[in-house]
Amino acid sequence: MANSKSQMLTLPTQSDYSTDKPALSLHYSWDQADYKGFSQYLSQIDWQALISHNLTADALWSSFTNVLQTGIDMYVPTCHVDSCLSSEVKTQNYIKKYPKHIRQAMSRKRCLWHAHRQWLADIAVLEKYRNARRNCHQLINEYEARKEAAVVNSGNLGKFYRFVNKRQTFLIICFCRCCR
């Protein structure tokens, strides 16, 4: 790059940050989106014209993402979340929620892990940790199996497909590993 020496890096200073307003980030509420309206919007786009007017891959990609972003802005509700709280919101949404007896077993396992890290030479603590780990894995596997059986036995096809689609990435990875 010939002109890379003329580029400048500017770093924010203390005065650039306002202490009056918290930094808000935009989050989409996908579960409340109007998917029918979004689908109708996309069906009304003249995709042939979009492809023929954008001759380069970059121009086509830019136009395509603009169309999608416009549809998302029209049909997906948004909310502003405090950036300090956003990590808490993400954590609460993505941590698996287990029943109390499993959470207690996981807590016991963590406690034994810390004890083992503190007394590395104590074989009894290591053995207790290994037993707690096995117990935790067994409880989680039994819970997941009961949950899967409940979905299959419910007879609700929509519930079954939602359950399968949540695990689709895992299934694709397993399939790729088995085919090698």
The tens digit of pLDDT for each residue in 83-105 reads 555 454 444 444 568 888 998 99
Q: What is the pLDDT of residue 92?
A: 47
Over 60: is that where the pLDDT of 2 sits? no
The answer to whether 80 and 26 are in contact (CB under 8 A) is yes
Q: What is the pLDDT of residue 22?
A: 56
What are the C-alpha distances in Å from 168 to residues 30, 82, 180? 19, 32, 19
Measured CA to CA, the distance from residue 143 to residue 139 in angstroms comes to: 6
The tens digit of pLDDT for each residue in 31-71 reads 788 888 889 999 999 999 999 998 899 999 999 999 999 98
CA 99 from centroid of its chain's CA atoms = 22
Question: Which residues sit opposite 81 in a β-bridge?
Answer: 25
Question: Which residues sit opposite 27 in a β-bridge?
Answer: 79
Q: What is the pTM of this model?
A: 0.41
Q: What is the pLDDT of residue 148?
A: 86
Average pLDDT of the segment spanning 11-24: 53
Give, to the nearest 10 degrees, the angle between helix 123-154 and helix 100-118: 160
The tens digit of pLDDT for each residue in 104-161 reads 999 999 999 888 888 888 899 999 999 999 999 999 999 988 988 888 888 888 888 8
Query: What confidence tier does 82 reach under pLDDT thresholds 50, 70, 90?
Result: low
The answer to whether 143 and 100 are in contact (CB under 8 A) is no
